[in-house]
Structure 1
Amino acid sequence: MTMNDPSRAIELLRPPRIEFGSGTVGTVGRWVRDRGLRRVLVVADAFNAARLDRLELDGGITVFAEVKPEPDLPNLEALLAVALSVDPQVVVGLGGGSAMDLAKLAAVLPGSGQSLAEVVGPERVAGKRSLLVQVPTTSGTGSEAGTRALVTDPATRNKLAVQSVHMLADLAVIDPDLTLSVPPALTAATGVDALAHCVEAFTNRKAHPAIDLYALEGARLVGRWLPRAIADGGDRAARAGLSLASLYGGFCLGPVNTTAGHAVAYPLGTRHNVPHGAANALIFPHVLAFNAPAVPERTALVLEALGLPPATDPAAVFEAAHGWCRGLGCEMRLSAYGVPADDFPAMASEAHAIRRLLDNNPRDVGRDDILAMYHAAF
C-alpha cells in the first residue's frame, strides 16, 4: 500500500464530547455536577492552579499544582501518590500538554496494580479508573484530543510514551480565552508545535486522506493566525484559530503521529531542557527541507498553507521555513540555548533510536543526517 492510500485501515478516536469556543470553560463544573461527582482531582502547573475558579467546580477539589514543563518520573510519582489518597471520581487536566499528559496517567494508574513501566507502549493499560476532563491553556500539543502521554525517565533521559484508548478524555473543553495570557515567545513556540503535528502527519508514510484535511487545514490556521496572536495576545479570533489548529494537530497524532521532526527535537528537551515547542520550531525547517525530495508536492502545499511561495528544492524550502519561524521571533540557533556541540553525537544516537517516529518519516534518516541537522542548527 502506498502513502495516502484511502483503503488502508485507520482508527479515528475523539473525545465523545468536545466543547469549543470563548467562554466554554465553565462547562467543566456543570458537567461534573450533572454527574454528581464529588471527588475531583485537578492536575495543573502553579500558574493555572491559581485560576481554578474559571472551571466553576464546587466542593471536594484536590489540586496537584506541581506539574513540571517536561514531566519526569518523580513528578508523576508525586501525582500518583496524591491520586491514590484521593481516589478521584474525575481527574481534570488544566494546562499545557504536560498537565494533560499527567492527568491521563492519573486517571488510569492509581489502584490499577500496574506500574508506569508495565504500560509503556501501545494499549497496555488495563482499564479506566476515573473519568477524565481535559482543558488546554496553550495552543500547541492537542493533547486534549489524544490517547498518548509522555514522561521523561531521568536515568536514561528518554521520553516514555504510553498510548491507550483508556486515556481518551470523556470531555475536552477548549476555551481560547484561557490562552489570552500566553506571552509572545511561548505563543510562537506552541503554535509551531501545533504546526509540526499537522505537517509531520501530512508528510508521513502513514498519511491518510481521513487525516490530511485536518493536517492541511491546521497548517493553514497556524499560517493565518499565529502572526496575529504574537502581534496582539488579546486578539480573540487569532487565539481561537490557534486553539482549533492545536485540536486538529491532536486529531493527527493518534492515527498517523509525527516523524523525524519530533524525534530530532526530543533530545533538546530531555538532555538540555529546551522547551518542547521551541525545540520543534528550531528543528522544523531542517526536517521539512530534508524530506522535500521524498514528498515534493506535499512540501509545496505546506509552504503555501503558511502563505509562503511554494517550493520543492530543499535549499529554497529551508530558506522559506527558516525565515518564517525567525519572523515569528523563534530562536533558531542551538548555541543560544547553551546546547554544546560536543553532545551532538549522543543526541543524534538518541534521536536515531526513536523508531516509533522515524519509521513514519517519508525519507530514511540516518544518524549522520541527524548529526548534520544539529550542526546546521548550531
Structure 2
Amino acid sequence: MSSVPVIILHQPKRLIVGAGTIGEVCTWAGEVSSTLVIATPITAGFVDRLKLPGKVAVFDAIPGEPEIATLDAALAAARAAKPDLVVGLGGGSVMDVAKLLAALWDSAQTLADVAGSNKVAGRSTRLAQIATTAGTGSEAGIRSLITDPIKGAKIAVESPHLIADLAVLDPELTYSVPPAVTAATGVDAMAHCVEAFTSKRAHSMIDGFARMGFHLVGKYLARAVRDGSDHEAREGLMLASYYGGICLGPVNTAAGHAIAYPLGTLLHLPHGLANAIVFPHVLAFNEPVAQEKTAEVAQALGLGHGLSQANLRAEALGFCADLGIEMSLAKHGATEADLPRFAADAHAIRRLMDNNPADMSVDDVLGIYRASF
C-alpha cells in the first residue's frame, strides 16, 4: 500500500459568506487608522461599501497579469500610506498583490528573497481579501503569482504568512461581472478542483473540497452566465472558487495550469480564459490514467456517462463553447510558429507538470496546443 501524503491545510482566520457582507469588514476591522485598498479601476467602485474609518488609500493600477513593476509600484504606495490594514478588493491578480504587499511593505525582504516556499519571514499588517470574481480562489490560499516579463514566466511565492485574516464572499460584488468573464473564471475555478482531484498528489480530504467545487460549477455556471444577477448561482460559484483555492494549497494544480501559463505570460490572455481553452484537451489526455475520477467529473458537468476519450474531449469542448468561450487559440492571436515556444515553456514548469496523473512529453504538450489552435 502506498503511503498517504501528509497535507497541511491553511484557511483564512475568518470567512464571511453572503449578500451584502462587504459591509461587515468595518465591524471586523475595528479602530484602524490607515488602510490601503488594492483594486482595479472597476473594483475601486466598491471601496465606499467598506465604510472603513481612518485614512483610506486606493492603489488600482493592477493589470490582468501583475508584473514585478506592478508590485514595486504598489509597495511604494504602501510605504507612503503606512497601512495597519491591507484590503485586496478584486480577482486573483488583485489578491495576489495584496498578499505580498501586506507581508513586504514594512519588511527588509524583497520579492526575490521570498520566491519559492516558506521564505516569507512574517507579517505584521492585517490582511482582508474580498473576492469580486468567482475564479482563482486566491482569497483562500497561501500562494501569490507575479509575472517576470523578462523571463516570460511566473514567480510563485508560497507561505502561511500570506493567508488572509478575513475573507469575504459577497455574491453581490459579482453581479456586474460580464458573461464572458463569468464563464472563463468559472472554468478556472473548476480546473483548480479537477486538477487537484486527479493529481498524483491527490488526497482524500482535498478530494472532498474538489468534488464540492466541480459539482457547484456544473450546477450553476451556465445559470450565472445567462443571468448575472441570479443570486443563488453567483453564491454557488463563489463557493466553488473558494473550494478550488483550498485545493491549491496542499495539492495544487497540474498540467492544465502549466499549459495555460505561457498563454498568459506570452500571449497575454486572461488566466481564466487560458485555462478554459486547454481544459477539455487536458481532461481527455489524462482520462486513461484517471478513469474513475474523470468519469465523476464528466457526470458532475453533465457531459455524459461512459464516454470514450474522443467523446469526452468533444463534450468538454461543447460545455465551454456553450458558455460563449472562444476555444480557438488562433482566434486569440496565436500563430502556429508560437506553439513550440509555448510547449517548451509549459513543459519546464515542473512544480505543476510533475503533479499530472499522466506523464507528458514536450510533444504531448505541443499536441494539446495544436488541438487548441
In structure 1, the partner of 2:292 is 297
Deviates more, 1:220-229 or 1:105-114: 105-114
Q: How does 1:91-110 map to 2 (within 5 A)?
A: 91-110=86-105
User: 1:4-48 deviations in whole A, cap 9, x for unaligned?
Assistant: x6x431111111100011111111111112xx2211110000111
In structure 2, the partner of 1:268 is 263
1:129 partner letter: S
For residue 189 of structure 2, the aligned residue among 191, 194, 204 is 194
**Superposed displacement of residue 312, structure 1:** 5.2
In structure 1, the partner of 2:210 is 215
| 1:162 maps to 2:157 | yes
Q: How does 1:141-152 map to 2 (within 5 A)?
A: 141-152=136-147
**Superposed displacement of residue 58, structure 1:** 2.3
CA distance, structure 1, for counterparts of residue 47 and residue 83 of structure 2: 17
- Aligned length in residues: 373
CA distance, structure 1, for counterparts of residue 61 and residue 180 of structure 2: 23
For residue 38 of structure 1, the aligned residue among 33, 36, 40 is 33
| 1:284 maps to 2:272 | no
User: 1:194-230 deviations in whole A, cap 9, x for unaligned?
Assistant: 0000000101001111011110111010000000001
For residue 11 of structure 2, the aligned residue among 5, 11, 14 is 14
CA distance, structure 1, for counterparts of residue 310 and residue 302 of structure 2: 18
Runs of 5+ consecutive residues of structure 2 not aligned to the other structure? none
Runs of 5+ consecutive residues of structure 1 not aligned to the other structure? none
2:370 partner letter: H
User: 1:119-154 deviations in whole A, cap 9, x for unaligned?
Assistant: 110110011131100000000000000000000001
Deviates more, 1:297-306 or 1:54-63: 54-63
2:53 partner letter: D
- Alignment partner of 2:360: what SS? coil
**Superposed displacement of residue 169, structure 1:** 0.1
Mapped contact 2:254–2:352 kept (Cα < 8 A): yes
CA distance, structure 1, for counterparts of residue 268 and residue 305 of structure 2: 34
Mapped contact 2:303–2:312 kept (Cα < 8 A): no
CA distance, structure 1, for counterparts of residue 16 and residue 284 of structure 2: 37
In structure 2, the partner of 1:127 is 122
- Alignment partner of 2:42: what SS? helix
Please list every run of at least 4 consecutive aligned residues from structure 1 whose deviation after the TM superposition is greater than 6 angstroms.
none
In structure 1, the partner of 2:225 is 230
Q: How does 1:332-351 map to 2 (within 5 A)?
A: 332-351=327-346
For residue 244 of structure 2, the aligned residue among 249, 253, 257 is 249
In structure 1, the partner of 2:358 is 363
- Alignment partner of 1:344: what SS? helix
Q: TM-score scaled by structure 1?
A: 0.97
1:188 partner letter: A
CA distance, structure 2, for counterparts of residue 356 and residue 310 of structure 1: 32
User: 1:293-335 deviations in whole A, cap 9, x for unaligned?
Assistant: 1100010000011122133532121111111111111111000
Mapped contact 1:109–1:129 kept (Cα < 8 A): no
CA distance, structure 2, for counterparts of residue 184 and residue 48 of structure 1: 17
CA distance, structure 2, for counterparts of residue 18 and residue 197 of structure 1: 20
State, as a whole percentage, how many aligned pairs show the same letter: 54
1:31 partner letter: W
CA distance, structure 1, for counterparts of residue 307 and residue 226 of structure 2: 30
